[in-house]
Amino acid sequence: MAEDYKLPTRRAMLTAMKHDGPLTALIAAGSMYPGTVPVSRTFPFLRLGAITASPFRASGLDSSAFRANVQGFTKPLANARGAATASAEDQADRIGSAIKDAIDGATLTLEGGQKARIVWIQTIAVRDGDEADAWMVTVTFGVEVAG
C-alpha cells in the first residue's frame, strides 16, 4: 500500500516558502498559513490549498504523488497617502510568480527523510469573490515523494 506523505509535504512546502527572500518581500512569513486563515488576517497573505494525493510507484518505490495548490490573496497597493501604486491584479501576478519561483524545481527533505520533488504546473489569477477589491492567485504544483 502506498504511503501518504501529504502532511509532511505541506509542512516542507510552507517552510520553504517562508524562507524564500523574494516571496517574503511580497508576503510576510507570518502571513503564510497552512490552510486555515485567521479571521483577523491582513492582506497580502497565502495559504496552502487543496492537495490531491495518489500512489506513486517507480523503480520499486511505494510512495505518493500530489497535485498541490498554493493560493495568494492581495488587494491594491497604496503609498502612505493612500494613492494606488499597483492594482490587485498586478500584485496577484507578482505573488504567483514569486510562489512559483520559491519552490518550482525544489527537492525538499521531509520530516522522515523522504525527498519531495516539486514541479510547477500552472498559475491562474482571478478576482476574489469574497472581497470587492481583492484578487487571488492559485499556483499548482506536481509533487512526487520517494519513500
Report the alpha-carbon distance of residue 27 to residue 18 in Å, rounded: 9
pLDDT at 2: 52
Over residues 27-36, mean pLDDT:
96
Please report, for the chain, the start and end positions of each structural domain, with discontinuous segments joined by +: 6-30+43-112+131-146
Q: What is the pTM of this model?
A: 0.91
pLDDT of 112 over the 70 cut: yes
The 3-state DSSP class for residue 97 equals helix
Residues counted in the chain: 147
Over residues 12-30, mean pLDDT:
97
The 3-state DSSP class for residue 60 equals coil
- The cell numbers describing 31, all together, are 502571513
63-101: pLDDT as tens digits: 889 999 999 999 998 888 878 888 999 999 999 999 999
Classify the phi-psi angles of 113: left when phi > 0, otherwise alpha if psi is within -120 to 50, otherwise beta.
left
Is the Cβ–Cβ distance between 67 and 6 less than 8 Å? Answer: no
